[in-house]
A and B are shown apart, each in its own frame.
Chain A
Amino acid sequence: MNKRIGRHTVKIEKPVYIISAASYAGKKEGEGPLGKYFDFVAKDIMLGEKSWEKAESMFFKKAFETALQKAEKNFDDIDYLLAGDLLNQCGGSTFGLRDFKIPYFGIYGACSTFGEAISLGSMLIDGGFGKNILCGAGSHFCSAEKQFRSPLELGTQRPPTSTWTVTGSGAVVLSSEGSGPRVTYVTTGRIIDMGIKDSGNMGAAMAGAACDVIEAHFNETGRTPDYYDVIATGDLGDVGKALVKKYAGEAGIIFNNNLTDCGIEIFDNETQDTHCGGSGCACSAVTFSGYFYKKLLKKEIKNILLIPTGALMNTDISQQGETIPAIAHAVAIEAE
């Protein structure tokens, strides 16, 4: 059992390569700074479907199929499918992937789902339970607003601390053979609740969980932040990032300009009116699959600590006055 190197961290000893990655993004994301990196940018985020929920499923289908094609694999080659999203009962993934006929684990980690999928996929391969695993996550601005906030046409103001749910889906194929960046460490977060109630300030709700997993990762691996070219949280936005800097700093973890956030990378908050940045399952999924993965392949960066963050909010329980618990999962991914 020497794979477990700490309370939160496991070392992935056998090679787990990310042999392909695919990103399908919405129109607004395509107009953002990372637009040119995505495999596909939808002109109409309905994708020809009749409802936003169906459109979200279609994003899943397209992204996951593309990841398979890029890996030159068939459905039959894949041992497990790991996916999740924000909709009730993971509707986006279930309905998007129901025709795949691959043994499936539907997972939920809110916006941290992409990290959860890669973590579990890597552990399955290292454990010898599978050779090829397809995993990913996605979200859709419209279906998320509908489920968690208010109707799109309701004339409300978004608070300055709010973030914008990313439309799209990102998927990767993990394999025990092949080439590509390797997953080397998986640090699994705990549920952390800092007592934030404001659902218009998700970055603040999640930053505590991000700090917790960051502390755990560096303490247990013995690494320092300098080791990584990029340390990217999932969707903390400006407020969350500032909080991580402050509290990780207090714990002695000092970043040298390598700390970023997928939600900050994906939008230009000034011109795109996204307030604090992007959010949603798709935020870290498409930013990693589209942008960071390509940088790893080109060796522009040699490694990344990806930390998708999730607010484990339940709208009913929130209305009962509860605070917002959060989670974050860190995965170390290193170019060969």
Chain B
Amino acid sequence: METTEKKKKEYQQAVKVLSPNSHIIKNCIWAFFSGGTICLIGHILRRIFESLNYSEDKTALLVNLILIASSALLTGLGLYSKMGKKCGAGTVVPITGFANSMVSPSIEYKTQGFILGLGAKMFTVAGPVLVYGITTSVIVGIIHYFIMG
């Protein structure tokens, strides 16, 4: 097998042709309906708490609480990964997916102890989300200060 740059390029092209593609349409339909459903549940919960006269902040917190707790339970029971297989981004993008990304390594790395196993690995996905989310918010805050201030 030649390994010249030209051959490698040609090989990589052949790989593209011979590799099956993701069923993007099917995946998108699943993502739309599953993601939509999770959001719809969120919205129903929100209206329920609002009708019970909770403030906007408390309502948002209670909705998150229920969604995150459900995700943790489904992840522990091994059901969230089954849903994720079908739903793709529909179960990754909602807050339940964020919870799943924290719960799943926590369970998996429990065998490596509570500190460097469970405690550290909980943040393999959530860590970067917080790092860049918080940093962006700081930048937004500073810009807001100088423009509006």
A and B touch in the complex (CB under 8 A): yes
What is the bound-complex CA distance between A52 and B108, given in angstroms?
10
Given known contacts A50-B111, A195-B12, A239-B19, is B1 in contact with A153 (CB within 8 Å)?
A: no
B80 touches A155 (CB 8 A): yes
Given known contacts A201-B19, A211-B1, is B11 in contact with A151 (CB within 8 Å)?
A: no
A247 at the A/B interface (Cβ < 8 Å)?
yes
B18 touches A243 (CB 8 A): yes
B21 at the A/B interface (Cβ < 8 Å)?
yes
**Which residue in chain A gives the minimum CB-CB distance to B88?**
A157
B68 at the A/B interface (Cβ < 8 Å)?
no
Given known contacts A194-B11, A194-B12, A208-B3, is B81 in contact with A153 (CB within 8 Å)?
A: yes
A155 touches B11 (CB 8 A): no
Residues from chain A with a CB closer than 8 A to the CB of B109 are 151
* Among candidates B3, B14, B23, B108, residue contacting A153 with C-beta atoms closer than 8 Å: B108
A155 touches B84 (CB 8 A): yes
Interface residues of B in 62-87 (CB under 8 A from A): 75-76, 78, 80-81, 83-85, 87
A246 touches B15 (CB 8 A): no
* Among candidates A146, A155, A215, A239, residue contacting B85 with C-beta atoms closer than 8 Å: A155
B1 touches A215 (CB 8 A): yes
Residues from chain A with a CB closer than 8 A to the CB of B111 are 50-53
B59 at the A/B interface (Cβ < 8 Å)?
no
Interface residues of A in 144-178 (CB under 8 A from B): 146, 150-161
1/0 contact trace for B113-145 toward A, CB 8 Å?
A: 000000000000100000000000000000000
A220 at the A/B interface (Cβ < 8 Å)?
no
User: Distance in Å from the Cβ of B149 to the closest Cβ of chain A?
Assistant: 40
1/0 contact trace for B1-45 toward A, CB 8 Å?
A: 101000011011011001111110001000000000000000000
A155 touches B83 (CB 8 A): yes
* Among candidates A146, A153, A204, residue contacting B19 with C-beta atoms closer than 8 Å: A204
A195 touches B80 (CB 8 A): no
B14 touches A155 (CB 8 A): no
Residues from chain B with a CB closer than 8 A to the CB of A152 are 81, 104, 108
Residues from chain B with a CB closer than 8 A to the CB of A52 are 111
B20 touches A161 (CB 8 A): yes
What is the bound-complex CA distance between A251 and B15, given in angstroms?
17
1/0 contact trace for A52-69 toward B, CB 8 Å?
A: 110000000000000000
Residues from chain B with a CB closer than 8 A to the CB of A51 are 111
User: Distance in Å from the Cβ of B72 to the closest Cβ of chain A?
Assistant: 10
Is chain B's interface secondary structure helix, strand, loop, or mixed overall? Answer: helix
Interface residues of A in 206-246 (CB under 8 A from B): 208-209, 211-212, 215, 238-239, 242-243, 246
User: Distance in Å from the Cβ of B15 to the closest Cβ of chain A?
Assistant: 4
Residues from chain B with a CB closer than 8 A to the CB of A238 are 20
Size of interface on B: residues with Cβ below 8 Å to A: 38
Given known contacts A156-B84, A157-B84, A195-B12, is B3 in contact with A242 (CB within 8 Å)?
A: no
A39 at the A/B interface (Cβ < 8 Å)?
no
Given known contacts A50-B111, A161-B20, A193-B3, is B100 in contact with A154 (CB within 8 Å)?
A: yes
A196 at the A/B interface (Cβ < 8 Å)?
yes
What is the bound-complex CA distance between A27 and B108, given in angstroms?
20
B48 at the A/B interface (Cβ < 8 Å)?
no
Residues from chain B with a CB closer than 8 A to the CB of A251 are 1
User: Distance in Å from the Cβ of B32 to the closest Cβ of chain A?
Assistant: 15
**Which residue in chain B gives the minimum CB-CB distance to A275?**
B20
**Which residue in chain B gives the minimum CB-CB distance to A159?**
B22
A155 touches B22 (CB 8 A): no
1/0 contact trace for B90-119 toward A, CB 8 Å?
A: 011000010011011101110100000000
A153 touches B92 (CB 8 A): no
A192 at the A/B interface (Cβ < 8 Å)?
yes
**Which residue in chain B gives the minimum CB-CB distance to A145?**
B108
B104 touches A153 (CB 8 A): yes
A158 touches B21 (CB 8 A): no
What are 20 A-B pairs at a CB distance below 8 A? A151-B107, A152-B81, A153-B75, A153-B76, A153-B78, A153-B100, A153-B103, A154-B84, A154-B125, A155-B75, A155-B81, A156-B81, A156-B92, A157-B88, A160-B23, A195-B8, A208-B3, A211-B1, A246-B18, A251-B1
Residues of B bordering A, CB below 8 Å: 1, 3, 8-9, 11-12, 14-15, 18-23, 27, 75-76, 78, 80-81, 83-85, 87-88, 91-92, 97, 100-101, 103-105, 107-109, 111, 125
Can you add 6 more A-B contacts, CB < 8 Å, to A156-B81, A193-B3?
Answer: A51-B111, A153-B78, A154-B84, A154-B125, A155-B81, A204-B19
